[in-house]
């Protein structure tokens, strides 16, 4: 059996075991969206296994009752060690540092996964990931929808959409974020710790922007029009919307749409 199929079978068995312990959701219940952020770098030799795990989460959706919405955020603090990650940004490094402060960590690191803004662990650890994802899958979430999405011509192009959130049961207010991410990306790494390797990635964040504020106990909607990076191919993009409490804190709702579908 090829390794990828062995891994998929393992994920399926783990998911079945977890479901048996936690109890199955009703058959007609929609899956609970769970935001999985991976802080990674092409300059880090420990990161490719975590990148691969994120891709398998996205493809196989191994947790029963959960819709895993993955986001790969490439940090820039590895860029001085022989390879400048073409997908990296200081913005993602700063976002990771903000998480470090909010979670009381002594330091941040790669690869690091953060689930729903409030659980963190080493990115390549399926055991820790499965525990965090299972817990997040049974947490109550605010329904979020992305509607009327369209790509507007121009240089650069822009994406127009309407976002709705039903927050009558929300205990806290939250910021509304929109992320654009590449469905698929790859690099031939020439130098650094991964020199000579061809690396592939999924849901590579291009930008994360705050577009509004959801007030506690109120349902709201927002019209948004956001610019794409020059030369971006909309058929290789996905839009991720998430609601996050201050801190950055807990993610209380999320949704994803692929522009190419």
Per-residue pLDDT, averaged over 157-162, amounts to 96
Q: Which of 232, 244, 255, 240 is nearest to 180 (CA)?
A: 240
Strand 112-115 versus strand 32-40 pairing type? antiparallel
CATH of residue 113's domain is 2.60.40.1930
Residue 23 lies in a domain: no
Residue 124, pLDDT score: 93
Residue 13 lies in a domain: no
Residue 23, pLDDT score: 42
- Compute the half-sphere exposure of residue 253: CA atoms within 13 Å on the CB side of its CA: 27
* Tokens found for residue 133: 């994802």
172 contacts 63 by C-beta, under 8 angstroms: no
* Tokens found for residue 86: 């073409």
What predicted TM-score, i.e. pTM, was given to this entire model?
0.89
Residue 170 lies in a domain: yes
Residue 27, pLDDT score: 61
Q: Indicate whether 16 pLDDT > 70.
A: no
Residue 217, pLDDT score: 80
Residue 89 lies in a domain: yes
Q: Indicate whether 151 pLDDT > 60.
A: yes
Work out the pLDDT band at 1, boundaries 50, 70, 90. Answer: very low
Within 8 A by CB and 6+ apart from 167, the residues are 142, 174, 214, 215, 216, 217, 218, 219, 220, 243, 253
Residue 10 lies in a domain: no
Residue 92, pLDDT score: 98
Residue 218 lies in a domain: yes
Q: Indicate whether 29 pLDDT > 90.
A: no
Q: Indicate whether 13 pLDDT > 50.
A: no
Residue 18, pLDDT score: 41
E-state strands within 41-168: 66-74, 112-115, 119-122, 144-152, 158-165
Question: What is the span of the domain harbouring residue 72?
Answer: 32-258
pLDDT in tens, 77-125: 999 999 999 999 999 999 999 999 999 999 999 999 999 999 999 999 9
Chain center to CA of 5: 24
pLDDT in tens, 195-253: 999 999 999 999 999 999 998 888 899 999 999 999 899 999 999 999 999 999 999 99
E-state strands within 28-65: 32-40
State the total domains in the chain.
1
Residue 24 lies in a domain: no
């Amino acid at each position: 059996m090829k390794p990828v199929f062995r891994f998929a079978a393992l994920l399926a068995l783990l998911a079945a075991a977890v479901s048996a312990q936690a109890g199955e959701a009703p058959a007609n219940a929609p899956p609970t969206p769970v935001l999985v952020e991976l802080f990674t770098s092409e300059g880090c030799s420990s990161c490719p296994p975590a990148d691969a795990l994120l891709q398998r989460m996205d493809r196989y959706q191994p947790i029963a009752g959960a819709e895993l919405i993955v986001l790969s955020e490439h940090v820039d603090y590895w860029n001085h060690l022989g390879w400048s990650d073409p997908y990296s940004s200081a913005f993602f490094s700063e976002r990771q540092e903000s998480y470090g402060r909010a979670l009381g960590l002594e330091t941040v690191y790669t690869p690091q996964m953060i689930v729903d803004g409030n659980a963190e662990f080493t990115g390549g650890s399926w055991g820790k990931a499965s525990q965090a994802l299972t817990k997040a899958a049974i947490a109550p979430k605010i329904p979020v929808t992305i509607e009327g999405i369209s790509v507007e011509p121009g240089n650069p192009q822009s994406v127009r959409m309407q976002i709705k959130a039903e927050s009558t049961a929300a205990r806290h207010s939250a910021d509304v974020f929109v992320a654009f991410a590449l469905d698929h990306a790859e690099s031939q790494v020439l130098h650094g710790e991964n020199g000579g390797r061809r690396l592939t990635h999924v849901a590579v964040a291009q930008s994360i922007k705050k577009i509004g504020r959801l007030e506690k106990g109120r349902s709201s909607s927002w019209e948004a029009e956001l610019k794409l990076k020059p030369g971006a191919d909309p058929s290789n993009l996905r839009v991720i919307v998430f609601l996050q409490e201050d801190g950055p804190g807990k993610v209380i709702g999320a949704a994803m749409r692929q522009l190419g579908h």
